[in-house]
Structure 1
Amino acid sequence: MKLLNLCFSFVLILTTVSISAQDFKDLDKSPMDAVITRNQDNSPLARIIYSRPKKKNRVIFGELVPYGKIWRTGANEATEITFYEDVLFNSEKVKAGTYALYTIPNKENWVVIINKAINTWGAYSYDDSLDILRTSVEARNTAATIEDFSVTFKPTKYGSDLLMGWDDTFVEIPIQKL
């Protein structure tokens, strides 16, 4: 009888654990993602950690993300960029290190900002006195709608181009190793 009760208790515990382990309803609506680019010798050049909000039939730029206002460049925490060596970021020098990556989207161009403050939530505590670089890049139209905010790298002869896009807009920023 003790063995029967023990077996019954064991099955009950496994069933309870199994049922509760399948409850994923509170998953992040804008999941975190990361991309990395490497040099031709396979050493790392840059990495970006960001969160991917969804379009969900919304007008993104000019409405959800207002033109002319600082944006965390994704969702949740401010996007983080790490340079593993000194680089030229859109032809401007940036020392190796980890930084926050903010943007100010506009209809024709985006201001891309590299900022010293890291581990910040959104752009609520953004402090422009901590900017180490501000550069402007052309805003381009995508060939197709991008449902989730996306970041990727496109390898080039001297480094990689950073591409960031969402909805019907993307920007491209060249990164070259020094």
Structure 2
Amino acid sequence: MKKVMNLSKLACLAILLVSFSMNAQDFKDLDKSPMDAAAFPSSHRVSEKTVKVIYSRPQLKGRTVQSLAPNGEVWRTGANEATEITFYKDVTVGDKKVKAGTYSLFTIPGEKSWTIIINSDVDVWGAYSYNKGNDVARVEVPVSEGKKSLEAFSIAFDDEGSMHLAWGTLRVAVPMK
């Protein structure tokens, strides 16, 4: 009888330990600025990409674009880690040639134009350690206004390969070939 009692106590203890360790595998909630990716060509059926951008998508939540990405200041072009851009072959961004590789994508917002910055620093958080000396290319592009307001910062590519940044009604097109 004592053996049966000891075995049942042992079984209860084992179940308790297993259920306790299963709770240790908690998964955190969705990030407030979730990570996303955009690529060209954008079709999922095309495996040979020219460019891929990995970025986090901040949301306006009643704030203005300018309050989150102030004019004249280097911005990480998203949230959290600096946006990462990978070119799988040599490209031209605006009128600047950029060799294949992985870079950080920074921007300097402005009222009428934005400066697009391709920088050789990678794996950096935000723009706090941005180093202008590591810029590979800087291109100035005009700002336009869209009809539809986007709550979340978004990056997309058109059929020609130009990269489009959009947030609120702000639109910026970055020519790429």
State the TM-score, normalizing by the size of structure 2.
0.83
In structure 2, C-alpha distance between the alignment counterparts of 1:19 and 1:95, rounded to whole Å: 47
Q: Runs of 5+ in structure 1 lacking a partner? A: none
Q: What's 1:154 paired with?
A: 158
Q: Which residues of 2 match residues 18-167 of structure 1 at below 5 A?
A: 18-22=22-26, 24=28, 28-38=31-41, 42-61=47-66, 63-156=67-160, 160-167=161-168
What secondary structure does 2:124 align onto? coil
Q: 2:96–2:138: 8 Å Cα contact kept in structure 1?
A: no
What secondary structure does 1:155 align onto? coil
Cα deviation, 1:44-92, whole Å, max 9, x if unaligned, reads 201112122221111122x222111111111122111111101111233
Cα root mean square deviation, aligned: 2.3
Q: 2:42–2:157: 8 Å Cα contact kept in structure 1?
A: no
Q: Does 1:172 align with 2:173?
A: yes
In structure 2, C-alpha distance between the alignment counterparts of 1:84 and 1:131, rounded to whole Å: 19
Q: Structure 1 residue aligned with 2:13, among 9, 12, 17?
A: 9
In structure 2, C-alpha distance between the alignment counterparts of 1:11 and 1:42, rounded to whole Å: 47
In structure 2, C-alpha distance between the alignment counterparts of 1:119 and 1:28, rounded to whole Å: 19
Percent identity at matched positions?
40
- Return closer, same or farther for 1:95/1:65 CA change in 2, 3 Å cut-off: same
- Return closer, same or farther for 1:58/1:4 CA change in 2, 3 Å cut-off: same
State the TM-score, normalizing by the size of structure 1.
0.83
Q: Runs of 5+ in structure 2 lacking a partner? A: none
Structure of greater Rg: 2
C-alpha deviation, 1:114, in angstroms: 0.9
Aligned residues: 171
In structure 1, C-alpha distance between the alignment counterparts of 2:146 and 2:7, rounded to whole Å: 66
Amino acid of the structure 2 residue aligned with 1:175 = M
In structure 2, C-alpha distance between the alignment counterparts of 1:120 and 1:78, rounded to whole Å: 6
Which structure shows the higher strand fraction? 1
